[in-house]
């Protein structure tokens, strides 16, 4: 029997995750905007290596295997430190201070990427960068989950994690980064990223309000509560829910599909499909347009019609981004349409990585739950996946890589069939219908 840690119920409800009380008017929108820009900028920097790979490979003399290793080492540090950073945010420190510090430090590492002179130096810089970027997503989600109106929770997560990331990273990223590389060089395109990082960090410090959840030592001290009386919850109990376990397994395949598509698709489009760098950047930007549209629409629809239903629909759309692109002719307009609709699969990130596990677990440990989910996905999906697929690309060609990514999305689809519904409105409707049936 499934248990919902910290709550003696078998099914999650809207009450499991309390709405933060006493927030200023308009704060919810400001919070979502700031966190969305911050995370979008994180992914803008993370995937700059992929978007600029043709310049970097030519300049530094690295191959696809080494590109996969660089991606993987980044993912390892992102994943491991993300879990510990999330736990610290849940229990020890001010979330907004921790978030602002991490944003500032990863921006410095992005700047340093532009001065790398070889494979080893680039590897070390990106590994350290992953240390500072890893905790940003679970900490950001731990603001949104308790501080969002229940009927907007999925949409807010979608805006932060998918739509803004798509607009800033996938849509603007390839166009801006390739454009800067052509005009001022790929190195300078990394150096100037320190400027928006400083601005975002300032907004984190000034605007964000720490969520009022029990169990955090920083918040308990502010309220004058006795830390010694804080309930100790074993780590395994924090993750003791069917949906959380399914999400952790599903995220392995989801992040392999997501990260490796953005890593290897630019090379596939130029090498296998014969597109120019500019045409490639346009197709990659079409993925970004898809992120913006589907990243808001699908999570919002999941608020109304259920998380499970929308994960299944988005999984089917995601198959287009791999199998559709392989089968389609090397025609730019056709490829743009496929990329747009196929990237509907990325909306699953907001649901499988964040909303569903957060709604299924103990609200005091939201960052820890999401950090653990991120750990398995990044460590196995992104890290091992990128290394293996890099070797596959060198040995058998990039078309084999894209085909395997399609199989990853098939796995996500199968796993999603076993979810229990968590959307507050849908669960409430079902409970009301069951109660009405019993009363007859």
- For residues 149, 340, 246 and 42, what is the CA-based torsion angle, rounded to 10 degrees? -70
DSSP letter for each residue of 110-131 = HHHHTT--SHHHHHHHHHHHHH
DSSP letter for each residue of 30-43 = HHHHHHHHHHHHHH
End-to-end CA distance of the chain: 28
Q: Which residues pair with 7 in a beta bridge?
A: 4
Residues 6+ apart with CB under 8 A from 393: 64, 65, 68, 264, 267, 400, 401
The CA distances from residue 219 to 207, 267, 425, in Å, are 17, 48, 30
Please give the Cα distance from 105 to 181 (Å, whole number): 23
pLDDT tens track, the chain, 440 positions: 343 433 433 343 333 444 455 678 889 999 999 999 998 888 888 878 878 888 888 888 888 788 878 877 887 887 777 767 666 666 667 788 888 998 988 888 888 888 888 899 999 998 998 888 888 888 888 888 888 887 788 888 888 888 877 788 777 887 888 888 889 988 888 888 788 888 999 999 999 988 876 555 545 455 555 444 555 656 667 787 899 999 999 999 999 999 899 889 988 999 999 999 889 988 988 888 888 899 889 998 998 999 999 999 999 999 999 999 999 999 999 999 999 999 999 999 989 988 899 888 887 777 778 878 878 887 888 778 888 898 899 899 999 999 999 999 999 999 999 999 998 889 888 888 888 888 77
The sign of the dihedral angle between the CA atoms of 318, 321, 327, 328 is positive
Q: On the CB side of 93, how many CA atoms lie within 13 Å of its CA? A: 15
DSSP letter for each residue of 362-410 = -GGGHHHHHHHHHHHIIIIIIIIHHHHHHHHHHHH-HHHHHHHHHHHHH
SS3 329: coil
pLDDT score at 8? 36
Count CB neighbours of 141 within 10 A.
Answer: 29
SS3 4: strand
Q: Please report which helix (H) or strand (E) contains residue 109, including its range.
A: helix 95-113
Contact yes or no for 319/439 (Cβ under 8 A): no
Distance of alpha carbon 81 from the chain centroid: 15
Please give the Cα distance from 228 to 364 (Å, whole number): 16
């Amino acid at each position: 029997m499934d248990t919902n840690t910290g709550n003696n119920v078998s099914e999650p409800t809207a009450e499991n995750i309390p709405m933060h009380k006493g927030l200023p008017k308009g704060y919810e929108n400001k919070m979502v905007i700031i966190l969305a820009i911050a995370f979008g900028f994180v992914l803008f920097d993370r995937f700059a290596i992929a978007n600029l790979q043709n310049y970097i490979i030519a300049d530094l003399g690295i191959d696809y295997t080494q590109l996969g290793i660089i991606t993987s080492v980044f993912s390892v540090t992102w994943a491991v430190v993300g879990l510990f950073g999330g736990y610290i945010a849940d229990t020890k420190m001010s979330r907004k201070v921790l978030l602002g510090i991490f944003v500032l430090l990863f921006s410095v590492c992005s700047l340093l990427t532009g001065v790398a002179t070889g494979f080893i130096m680039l590897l070390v810089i990106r590994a350290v960068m992953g240390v500072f970027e890893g905790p940003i997503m679970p900490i950001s989600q731990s603001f949104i989950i308790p501080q969002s109106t229940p009927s907007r929770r999925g949409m807010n997560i979608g805006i932060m994690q998918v739509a803004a990331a798509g607009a800033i990273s996938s849509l603007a990223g390839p166009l801006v980064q390739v454009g800067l590389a052509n005009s001022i060089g790929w190195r300078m395109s990394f150096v100037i990223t320190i400027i928006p990082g400083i601005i975002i960090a300032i907004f984190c410090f000034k605007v964000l309000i720490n969520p009022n959840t029990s169990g955090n030592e920083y918040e308990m001290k502010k309220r004058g509560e006795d830390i010694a009386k804080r309930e100790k919850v074993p780590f395994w109990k924090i993750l003791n829910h069917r949906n959380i376990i399914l999400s952790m397994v599903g995220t392995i395949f989801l992040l392999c599909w997501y990260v490796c598509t953005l890593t290897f698709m630019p090379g596939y489009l130029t090498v296998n499909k014969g597109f120019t760098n500019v045409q490639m950047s346009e197709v990659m930007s079409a993925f970004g347009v898809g992120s913006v549209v589907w990243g808001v629409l699908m999570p919002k629809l999941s608020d109304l019609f259920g998380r499970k239903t929308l994960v299944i629909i988005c999984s089917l759309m995601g198959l287009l981004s791999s199998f559709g692109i392989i089968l389609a002719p090397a025609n730019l307009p056709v490829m743009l349409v496929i990329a747009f609709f196929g990237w509907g699969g990325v909306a699953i990130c907001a649901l499988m990585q964040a909303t569903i596990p957060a709604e299924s677990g103990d609200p005091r440990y939201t960052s820890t739950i999401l950090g653990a989910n991120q750990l398995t996905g990044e460590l196995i999906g992104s890290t091992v996946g990128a290394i293996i697929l890099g070797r596959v690309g060198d040995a058998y060609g990039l078309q084999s890589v894209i085909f395997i990514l399609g199989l990853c999305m098939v796995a996500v689809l199968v796993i999603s069939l076993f979810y229990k519904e968590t959307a507050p409105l849908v669960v409430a409707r079902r409970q009301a219908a069951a109660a009405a049936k019993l009363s007859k």
